[in-house]
Amino acid sequence: MMQENEQVIQDNQLMKHLLELRKRIIIVLVVFVLSMILGFFAAPDILNFIKHQPSAVQIDWNVFGFGDGISIYMKCAFILSLLITLPVAMQQAWVFAKPGLTEREKKGAFLFIPTSFFLFIAGVAFSYFILFPMMLQFLSSINQTIGATETYGINQYFTLMFGIILPISIMFELPVLSIFLTKIGMISPQLLRKIRKPAYLVLVIIALVITPPDLVSEILVSIPLLILFEISILCSNWMYKRTK
């Protein structure tokens, strides 16, 4: 009888956690959908802002298909929705996990949320204002050396841009993530050094997947990813020594 009562209590606790998790997921999804709608209406202003930004090369936006315009609208809406939803998702994850954390873990997680969002924004800025113009300039110079006439579609332009911005922005969170996980004892700098080679391979594969099929783009994206991993090792080592 006692075992049955304990099993019932465990089942009730599990159901309670699942209901709480569902509640947090629903909140995040609602924010994502609402911000997507907002982003769709704000897309013209976003595109106008991007078009008038100084860049490494001047490129005319051409449309080669009837669906190119709506495709770009959806991509802009997704980016804006991601920026709005990310801090909300982190806050909801914090609320869900908070009851099961120790005081030490709570302090680490609380600082992790705003820092992660800041690094994501920093990744967006770095990718758009530095890495993306450099890639455009280099690829354009290669095309000019062979005497090609440069005519680019708006869909190809934004596919390249988002393919650079999104993964780099996400990978920018590696250092703070390594600090947080080291602080709560889940990883160590020794572990990160041990998995350095397979991690390099994974990062290079990610760069191959998210970039256009040319060697230059793959190299330009792979290098920052590898540097971020090395920075993560240094951050983990700093937190490991401080914790000890």
pLDDT of residue 230: 93
What letters, b where the CB count within 10 A reaches 16 and e where it falls short, cover 193-229? eeeeeebeeebbebbeebbeeeeebbebbbebbbebb
Q: How far apart are CA 209 and CA 207, in angstroms?
A: 5
Take residue 150 and report the two structure tokens written for it: 């440069």
Query: Could you read off the pLDDT of 162-192 as tens digits, one per residue?
Result: 878 887 888 888 888 888 788 777 888 899 9
Q: Is 152 helix (H, G, I), strand (E, B) or coil?
A: strand
Take residue 117 and report the two structure tokens written for it: 């969002």
Take residue 44 and report the two structure tokens written for it: 């013209």
Domain span at residue 63? 44-69+84-172
Residues 6+ apart with CB under 8 A from 98: 106, 109
Beta-bridged to residue 152, according to DSSP, are 61
Query: Would residue 234 count as lying in a domain?
Result: no
Query: Would residue 51 count as lying in a domain?
Result: yes
Query: Would residue 130 count as lying in a domain?
Result: yes
State pTM to two decimals. Answer: 0.72
Q: How far apart are CA 172 and CA 121, in angstroms?
A: 9
Query: Would residue 30 count as lying in a domain?
Result: no
Q: At what angle do helices 154-171 and 132-145 cross, to 10 degrees?
A: 140
Q: Number of folded domains in the chain?
A: 1
Element (H, E) at 100: none
Show the low-confidence residues of the chain (pLDDT under 70): 1-11, 53-58, 101, 104-110, 210-214, 217
Query: Would residue 193 count as lying in a domain?
Result: no
Neighbours of 89 (CB within 10 A): 19
Query: Would residue 119 count as lying in a domain?
Result: yes
Query: Could you read off the pLDDT of 112-132 as tens digits, one per residue?
Result: 778 888 888 888 888 888 788
C-beta separation of 184 from 210 below 8 A: no
Query: Would residue 74 count as lying in a domain?
Result: no
Query: Would residue 104 count as lying in a domain?
Result: yes
Take residue 190 and report the two structure tokens written for it: 């020794």
